[in-house]
């Protein structure tokens, strides 16, 4: 192999079994391009595979391999390389087929005039350059389209959430005003406490709740909250029992799960009369873990079961006299944000209540 390099960027491989032809083409092209000459087609193919080549010019009739075959092989691996055939014999049917198949940009008969050859080379290089630009633009367009589609999906989801929250605010606005009106005759200390509770509630639920879900041992999370409510439960003489099957692990945010459990257990302790019982049970259910907190308290009328999870909806007489009725709405918002569900069951007034929390089981 002989190699002649120039300052031009275009790299051209020339293949011909006649040294005299290679010498002539080296003289014709050496001042304008990087020229790599080969007499063996397979060596030329290997060079193309291993180097950055812009164009291959090959003789058609060679002992080892026909030029159109060589260029077809190169085209399959490097479709952006421009290929030209030089032919001195009447095998143009095969060459025309190769041109039509897209393997070859052009062909010329030997002997070829210098200017004619250079004109074809320049057109071929320009064709290659435009193909590359088009390919890059197609990639950029595809990326832009994918990014645009993703952005539209994200913004649509954000708008949908904002719309849902707006509807929720509108739906709750009247209830909130009534709720505030009911508290206006309260003592100054209670109103101050209400302001603190509302600020805390809106700070927590006023925007999309961010959760850091991870594997949490449910029994340990329950035990932590039971330690916190042990005092209030003992003062009322309540019996608190826990019976969780196995040692289930859920996917949840540890801090927010603790907050939800505390909200539900606080309610159970508050609404269960002295000497009553609070029972916590848990078991796996279809790839999830269900926790049930049952009390022997005042119970709930069936038509109010859904209302207890909505903020500002319960009448003052249905709420804890010392509280503001936001424990269960807070728990509902937290459990939903963690990918879980929460609901209430009761056979009616005086028959106790069961609050069920269902969370994804950890993989």
Claim: this prediction has a pTM higher than 0.85: no
Q: Which domains does the chain have, with CATH numbers?
A: 2-135 (3.40.50.2300), 188-360 (3.30.565.10)
Structural contact between residues 100 and 79, judged by C-beta atoms closer than 8 angstroms = no
pLDDT by 10s per residue, the chain, length 363: 444 443 457 899 999 998 988 988 888 888 889 999 999 999 999 999 999 999 999 988 888 888 888 988 999 999 889 998 887 764 556 656 656 665 778 878 777 788 888 888 888 888 888 888 888 888 888 887 777 677 667 765 665 554 455 455 555 666 666 777 777 777 877 777 887 877 777 766 656 678 899 999 999 999 999 999 999 999 999 999 999 998 899 999 999 999 999 999 999 999 999 999 999 999 999 889 999 999 999 898 988 888 888 887 777 777 777 778 888 888 898 899 899 999 999 999 999 999 999 999 998
């Amino acid at each position: 192999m002989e190699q002649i390099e120039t300052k031009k960027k275009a790299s051209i491989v020339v293949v011909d079994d006649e040294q005299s032809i290679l010498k002539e083409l080296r003289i014709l092209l050496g001042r304008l391009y990087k020229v790599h000459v080969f007499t063996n087609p397979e060596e030329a193919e290997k060079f193309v595979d291993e180097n950055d080549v812009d164009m291959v010019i090959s003789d058609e009739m060679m002992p080892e391999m026909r030029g159109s075959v060589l260029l077809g092989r190169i085209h399959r691996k490097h479709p952006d390389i421009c290929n030209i055939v030089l032919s001195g014999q009447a095998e143009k049917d095969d060459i025309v087929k190769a041109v039509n198949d897209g393997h070859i940009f052009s062909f010329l008969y030997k002997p070829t005039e210098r200017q004619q050859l250079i004109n074809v080379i320049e057109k071929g290089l320009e064709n290659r350059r435009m193909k590359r630009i088009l390919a890059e633009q197609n990639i950029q367009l595809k990326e832009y389209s994918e990014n645009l589609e993703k952005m539209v999906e994200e913004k649509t989801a954000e708008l949908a959430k904002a719309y849902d929250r707006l509807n929720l605010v509108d739906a709750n606005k009247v209830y909130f005003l009534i709720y505030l009106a009911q508290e206006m005759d309260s003592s100054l200390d209670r109103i101050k406490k209400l302001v603190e509770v509302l600020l805390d509630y809106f700070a927590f639920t006023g925007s999309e709740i961010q959760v850091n879900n991870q594997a949490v041992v449910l029994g340990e999370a329950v035990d932590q909250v039971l330690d916190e409510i042990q005092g209030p439960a003992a003062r009322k003489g309540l019996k608190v029992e826990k019976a969780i099957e196995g040692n289930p692990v859920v996917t949840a945010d540890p801090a927010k799960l603790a907050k939800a459990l505390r909200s539900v257990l606080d309610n159970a302790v508050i609404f269960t009369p002295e000497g009553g019982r609070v029972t916590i049970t848990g078991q796996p259910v279809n790839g999830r873990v269900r926790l049930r907190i049952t009390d022997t308290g005042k119970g709930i009328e069936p038509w109010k079961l859904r209302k207890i999870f909505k903020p500002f909806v319960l009448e003052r007489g249905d709420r804890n006299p010392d509280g503001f009725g936001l424990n269960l709405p807070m728990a509902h918002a937290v459990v939903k944000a963690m990918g879980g569900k929460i609901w209430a069951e009761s056979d009616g007034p005086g028959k106790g209540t069961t609050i069920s929390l269902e969370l994804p089981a950890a993989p």
